[in-house]
Amino acid sequence: MTLGYPRRVAMISLHTSPLATPGVGDAGGLNVYVGELARRLGERGLKVDVFTRADSDGPDVVELNEHTRVVHLPVGPRGPVPKEALPRLVPDFAAALEPVIERYDLVHSHYWLSGVAGLELKQRHGLPLVHTMHTMARVKNAALGGAQQAEPDVRDRGEAAIVAAADGLTANTGDEAAELITHYGARPDQITVVPPGVDLHTFHPCDQPKSRAQLGVPLRAQVILFVGRVQPLKAPDVLIKAVAELVRADPDRRERLRLIIIGSPSGPDADWSRTLPPLAEELGVGDLVDFRPHSARAELFRWYCASDLVGVPSYNESFGLVALEAQACARPVVATDVGGLRHAVDDGQTGYLVAGHGAHDWAKAMAAVLDDPDEALRLGINAAIHASAFSWDNTAAATLGAYHRAVC
């Protein structure tokens, strides 16, 4: 280590690779976060190896840049494993790191499964451990809704052990830092607030007519967009119900209103996604809802651009990268008034925050954007300015501060 900073970092993302496409299976904002952070740290001269479980027949090592690699460890079957079955693989994953872990100055783990593996390595080798929760069992269980399943006790116990022993914890927001203290007894001096970023080269203000022409979206359409894993936590059903409410209140809107849901089923609730098309039919809006699979990020940029607003109705979000990406594209966001979305969205300036998940409240907030072009333009301009302050370079700089405190 030099000047109080680690030179080599073992970054652990056990359950999902930063190379995975967000919106597929368990891949989402965490994948983007790990990949972007590792790249930016590498650009600052740190040697960063991201260790993940090999779940395909791809190459064992993939270089992201001159100093950053993704290393796939042969732990468990070389294929997908349900997230709920992964805890039993944690000891094997930690063991697979044993031959190389002494090369590193610090371990940075992401999500609780990685944190438990990192904790084993810390205890055996005395390495500093920095952990990023991304989501927390106790916070999620306190905000369950709809068809969501409670997080298991093994996760609760694992997270408590990580917090008790970690040299550093990073939190997306001050609110998340407070949750670490309240729910897990974290020490304030353990925590560094590290806001996530957005890829401003990929996501930026764009031409809506051009994007609609490329995607085959009518120019007159009022387009509401949902992006993310299709699961109860993300609550795309709320948008379907709100669309039905919009049409009920104004039947003429049917000719132009569209809800586009982009993403794939995820987690133990994967079958829940099958309830959404019947729900749309039951509410009389089956013809207005377009279900699409995950998109590559370049194509996703075009979908953001083609939309009039992006809905983020999650029951809980540690931050909300989709909200940031949408705003970077100058699109207003309507989101639930929870967690990190309160920081990602500037209520009344870049979009609107909705208390709860009532269809009437969501319809009212979305209509305020859809039916007032001047307001939509104001929100969109503010959104792009707001998002520009969230860069991955800033995220990397704040993370280096966490590393410094952990090693000193």
DSSP string over 52-80: EE--SSS-SEEEEETTEEEEEE--S-SS-
The share of the chain scoring above pLDDT 90, in percent, equals: 82
Q: Provide Rg for the chain, Cα atoms.
A: 21
Q: Are the C-beta atoms of 109 and 117 separated by less than 8 Å?
A: yes
Q: Return the half-sphere exposure (C-beta side, CA atoms, 13 A cut-off) of residue 269.
A: 18
pLDDT given for residue 297 in this prediction: 83
Tell me where in the chain the CATH 3.40.50.2000 domain(s) lie: 8-197+391-407, 208-388
In single-letter form, the type of residue at position 291 comes to F
pLDDT at 316 > cutoff 80: yes
Domain 8-197+391-407 annotated CATH 3.40.50.2000 = yes
CATH class for domain 208-388?
A: alpha beta
Looking at residue 50, what DSSP letter applies?
A: E
Average pLDDT for 59-67: 95
pLDDT given for residue 145 in this prediction: 66
CA distances to 208, 326, 331, 357, 388 from 204, in Å: 12, 9, 10, 29, 9
pLDDT given for residue 146 in this prediction: 61
Q: Out of 13-17, 55-59, 172-176, 190-194, pick the least confident.
A: 55-59
Residue 3 CB-density burial (10 A; 0-12 exposed, 13-18 middle, 19+ buried): exposed
Distance CA 39, CA 318 (A): 22
pLDDT given for residue 147 in this prediction: 63
**Residues forming a β-bridge with 62:** 70
pLDDT given for residue 83 in this prediction: 80
pLDDT at 66 > cutoff 60: yes
pLDDT given for residue 290 in this prediction: 97
Would the pTM of this model clear 0.75, i.e. be above it?
yes
pLDDT at 25 > cutoff 60: no
pLDDT at 26 > cutoff 70: no
Angle at 46 between CA 50 and CA 103, to 5 degrees: 65
Average pLDDT for 305-309: 98
Long-range contacts of 87-92 (CB under 8 A, 24+ apart): 87/113, 87/116, 87/154, 87/155, 87/158, 89/14, 89/53, 90/14, 90/116, 90/117, 90/120, 91/120
pLDDT at 207 > cutoff 60: yes
pLDDT given for residue 3 in this prediction: 66
Higher pLDDT, 31 or 8: 8
Distance CA 218, CA 126 (A): 60
